Chain A
Amino acid sequence: MGACHGEPGPLVGENASVPLYRDEAVVLRTHKLGEADRIITLLTRNRGLVRTVAKGVRRTRSRFGARLEPFMVIDIQCYEGRNLDTVTQVETLAVYGDAICRDYTAYTAATVMVETAERLCEEHEPATQQHLLLVGALRSLTGGEHDPSLVLDAFLLRSIAIAGWAPSFYDCAKCGAPGPHRAFNIAAGGTVCTVCRPPGSAAPAPETMRLLASLLSGDWVIADGSEARDRREGSGLVSAFLQWHLERGVRSLRHVDRDGTRPPAPPRRTLPLKAAGAHEDGVDLAAVVPPLGSHPALDRHLGATQPDVREPV
């Protein structure tokens, strides 16, 4: 009883040769495997990125059901395999996927989040802050207080910061001279003063810099009051900054439905549709992305006495 969450505990009975572990996780993505199985990529709280096999999950009578769909926050038990671990039990902690996929704008934002988290985290390297940040961002997308585009940019900036590449939006990123400065250079790490400014630096609007700084620090009053053009410019800078540090593109970024303005796939004939830019969903998304490290539901769950995870499989 009372095995440490996420750590292999003492082995019991028939399972003495099977290293079991239990952890909390966000489902990042799934791949089909064989006739009815799936490979599930998880961002766990204590083990970082984990790839597991869920056997029979595609059958309609699978005991896992929708628990292993992307964006679900789960309590999972697996046993370790040579290459991939195998899922034995799953319990739901938070259902975000159902609400997210009913709003296309939130869905495209969430896919960028999980893809970024997958790129930034390593397999079996603990990434608790990234895990909690992702859980908070997914909860924000379903909350309905902020534009999903802002929630996405806030997540990306904080995710990059946790990874060690925090951009500077005030002081010079090279010499530390107090700001504000006008020039922004991705390779330099943020704003640069007139002395340090490399050739080809961008010169975003001061309001854009203020917006990005507020997203990084969590000042949602400034972020919510920002203009659409500043959000667009800021999103471009965030995307470029992210992909420069990842040293590769993020596939889902080009599909992001900013402000719900993504038009339908171009029809071959003129159709009796409303203007493509009309966003009629009436969905105002997202609550505040919580400060790093906080997630009340999970903390409550973790605070409870942990049941024995060494039950026979």
Chain B
Amino acid sequence: MPPGRPGRAAYPVVSEVGHRLARVYEGVVQDLIDELGRLPNVGPKSAQRIAFHILQADPADVTRLAEVLLEVKDKARFCDRCGNVSQDSLCRICADPRRDQTSICVVEEAKDVVAVERTREFRGLYHVLGGAISPMDGVGPEDLRIAELMSRLSDGTVTEIIIATDPNIQGEATATYLSRFLKHMGIVITRPASGLPVGGDLEYADEVTLGRAFEGRRAVND
């Protein structure tokens, strides 16, 4: 057995309901497990595994991890203009003069910016709403960064808005809400196409996806 790794007999894990471990470790080790267990998608078993990995890791690696954690809380912020994750008042994309200033891609979360950037198809700017309209979760239009988007459009520079909210009910409703007001501003409003995933089988496509794929079909003999 590797050093530092407890055997079952030495460190009995008490778990009556299968999702909670008792405080069986001493002091800081238990504190570390508790804190790791508060992270999203990290259960008590995973927290215990990560904690013992940290205990066995090289001290320099642990120090670097701790420094990065502190540094990200200290330096990371949200872009004043688009709401993307940034280190400065403006994010890398908003500060880049080579980006197309006439088009804005509206997304729900900052991670969606990365997803669109990976395509290398869009060279404009972004606007992060911070979620989608979901009345059942208590999220209305007032809770999103819609006012900030309107402010960005007020100088007339932007000529196209691409509403790239998630292709689900909440994302579609948010797109509908935005387009209701944006269409009066003389701006071209577009939405990414929905359709069949590359590599998928037609027979497994659901009616909504297949319907939209046919709605947005394109000529191939041009």
Residues on B with C-beta less than 8 A from A101 are 169, 172-173, 176
Of the 9-residue stretches B47-55, B79-87, B94-102, B139-147, which lies at the interface with chain A? Answer: B139-147
- Say whether A29 faces chain B, with CB atoms less than 8 Å apart: yes
Q: How far is the CA of A219 from the CA of B178 in the complex (A)?
A: 35
Q: How far is the CA of A69 from the CA of B137 in the complex (A)?
A: 15
* Chain A contact patch, size range: 35 or more
Interface residues of A in 84-101 (CB under 8 A from B): 92, 95, 97-98, 100-101
- Say whether A171 faces chain B, with CB atoms less than 8 Å apart: no
Interface residues of B in 24-43 (CB under 8 A from A): 41
A251 CB contact (under 8 Å) in B133, B137, B205:
B137
Q: Is the interface of B mostly helix, strand, loop or mixed?
A: helix
A264 CB contact (under 8 Å) in B134, B150, B168, B176:
B150
- Say whether A225 faces chain B, with CB atoms less than 8 Å apart: no
Contact indicator B147/A267 (Cβ below 8 Å): yes
Residues on B with C-beta less than 8 A from A251 are 135-138
Q: Which single residue of chain B is at the shortest CB-CB distance from A65?
A: B206
B136 CB contact (under 8 Å) in A29, A61, A65:
A29
- If the complex has contacts A268-B147, A271-B150, A272-B154, are A281 and B135 also in contact, measured as CB distance less than 8 A? no
What are 10 A-B contacts with C-beta separation under 8 Å? A60-B200, A66-B206, A67-B208, A98-B172, A100-B169, A102-B172, A104-B180, A268-B147, A271-B185, A272-B154
Which residues of B does A touch, CB under 8 Å? 41, 133-138, 140-142, 144, 146-148, 150-151, 153-154, 168-169, 172-173, 176-177, 180-181, 183-185, 197, 199-200, 204-209, 211
Which residues of A does B touch, CB under 8 Å? 29, 34-35, 60-61, 63-67, 69-71, 92, 95, 97-98, 100-104, 107-108, 111-112, 114-115, 251-252, 254-256, 262, 264-274, 278, 280-281
